[in-house]
């Protein structure tokens, strides 16, 4: 996320996803070294409403040295946000027709979108950074139920991805034991950005 945008998100979130955001930036900059055109579709790593009191997440532009993209607007209400994010990734992938689809994280709406897209012929890669559905101290009953469902379904859908990139062999063995894969122990080193991301609209 852009710096000013992430500060706004994280200042409203009791469990800010700073590490996830940092890793995402590093991942994009690593993919830029392939020389391929990189288009980034992003949503903030943010706790569901009302834990994070932002009801509607606004759009923001992303700008890297060569990659381009946006943080797309979605609801932050638990069920609606999951459906919106899943449909957005499916729709935009079909519209843009990329050579590869790389999904960062074990977030069920994106994992399921990747599963659906793999069934219709897209080459999909999944970047495993941490386990799915981790229960946080402030989670209410609905979030606990959703996370339990996330854990079970994620184990099913990850097996459809052709390629896996993980921070540890344990994550690969748990979620994608038969995929072609790469293991990067730890997070990619932070690199200085040559361009500042700018907000889009207000």
Half-sphere exposure of 163 (CA within 13 A, CB side): 12
Residue 187 reports pLDDT greater than 80: no
Residue 98 reports pLDDT greater than 70: yes
The pLDDT value recorded for residue 186 is: 61
Residue 84: count other Cβ atoms within 10 Å of its Cβ: 19
Nearest alpha-carbon partner for 126 in 172, 164, 98, 162: 164
Say which residue the tokens 């999951």 belong to.
Answer: 82
Q: How confident is the model at residue 57 (pLDDT cuts 50, 70, 90)?
A: very high
Angle at 179 between CA 175 and CA 185, to 5 degrees: 70
């Amino acid at each position: 996320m852009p710096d000013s945008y992430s500060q706004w998100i994280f200042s409203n979130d009791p469990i800010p996803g700073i590490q996830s955001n940092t890793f995402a930036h590093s991942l994009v900059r690593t993919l830029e070294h392939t020389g391929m055109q990189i288009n980034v579709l992003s949503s903030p790593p943010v706790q569901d409403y009302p834990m994070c009191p932002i009801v509607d997440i606004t759009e923001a532009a992303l700008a890297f040295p060569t990659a381009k993209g946006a943080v797309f607007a979605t609801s932050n209400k638990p069920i609606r946000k999951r459906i919106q994010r899943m449909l957005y990734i499916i729709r935009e992938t079909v519209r843009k027709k990329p050579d590869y689809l790389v999904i960062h994280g074990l977030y069920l709406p994106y994992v399921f979108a990747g599963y659906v897209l793999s069934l219709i012929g897209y080459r999909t890669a999944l970047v495993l950074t941490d386990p799915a559905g981790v229960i946080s101290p402030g989670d209410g009953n609905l979030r606990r139920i959703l996370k339990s469902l996330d854990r079970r379904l994620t184990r099913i859908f990850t097996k459809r991805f052709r390629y896996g990139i993980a921070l540890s062999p344990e994550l690969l063995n748990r979620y994608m034991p038969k995929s072609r894969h790469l293991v990067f122990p730890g997070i990619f080193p932070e690199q200085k950005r040559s361009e500042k991301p700018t907000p889009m609209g207000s």
